[in-house]
Amino acid sequence: MWDKIFHYVLIHMVYLAFAVFFGGILFKLIIVLFSKKFKGSLATYPRKLPRPIGIAAEALIAMVLLVLGHLELIKEFKFIQIIKHDVFLGAGFVGITFMICTLYFLFRRFKSPWREISVPEDFLLLILLFLTTVIGSHLHIGERYEMAQFGLNAELYREYFGSLVAFKPVIPEGISLSPHYVLVALHIFLANLVLMMLPFSKMMHMVFAFLSLNLKRK
């Protein structure tokens, strides 16, 4: 039974997650673009960007690096290899940085005044992001530093992700027969959830932030 569930998570659910992710963002953008514009100006002066939240900037950089790192798990991209490195990008520190950021945002929510303004969604999303990253980091660091003969290498991931991109999905035996298969499935499952929730949660700020900031500078 678990084999079937894992197979569903690693193949069908991935396609579903990406469809919901892209479809959801497109749906939201269409709704926004066809909505009534504000006839006046909402500018504030001088027209400059607001102060950043500090650690959010680090989380953003780590997030971009995580996306780039995952691209390299599909195939080799020359533009990512401008600075020569082993796959996965960042030698494990990118994931750790992202975890520290999510933990910071999570623990902050238990403290006043953030506690008063937090809603269940805030905790849920941060826990989800943290768990996704902690398992992903475990998979990466275990392989990279050859801990306990981990055996799940970048080539296996490339075979798996490459087959998904080519719409000829296979789960290599190196992954499906690995004792760590459950972790891979769990990581992909959580990542699928993040992707599906993004367009319909406050994570949408990743897209709308640019548009709303543009309003105050118009």
Kindly list the residues in this chain that would bind another protein in the complex (CB under 8 A). 28, 31-32, 35-46, 50-53, 56, 108, 113-114, 116-122, 124, 200-202, 204-205, 208-209, 211-213, 215-216
| Residue 128 CB partners (closer than 8 Å, separation 6+) | 190, 193, 194, 197
103 versus 141: smaller Cβ distance to another protein:
103
Nearest Cα to 72, choosing from 174, 171, 146, 144?
144
Smallest distance from another protein to CB 59, Å: 11
Question: What separation in angstroms does the CA of 193 have from each of 15, 42, 123, 187, 213?
Answer: 12, 35, 15, 10, 28
177 versus 206: smaller Cβ distance to another protein:
206
Smallest distance from another protein to CB 70, Å: 23
- Taking the C-alpha atoms of residue 99 and residue 130, their distance in angstroms, rounded to an integer, is 6
Smallest distance from another protein to CB 94, Å: 21
11 versus 16: smaller Cβ distance to another protein:
16
First and final C-alpha spacing in the chain? 56
Smallest distance from another protein to CB 71, Å: 26
Which tokens is 186 given? 């769990």
Query: Taking a C-beta distance cutoff of 8 angstroms, is the pair 178, 120 a contact?
Result: no
19 versus 165: smaller Cβ distance to another protein:
19
11 versus 29: smaller Cβ distance to another protein:
29
Smallest distance from another protein to CB 64, Å: 17
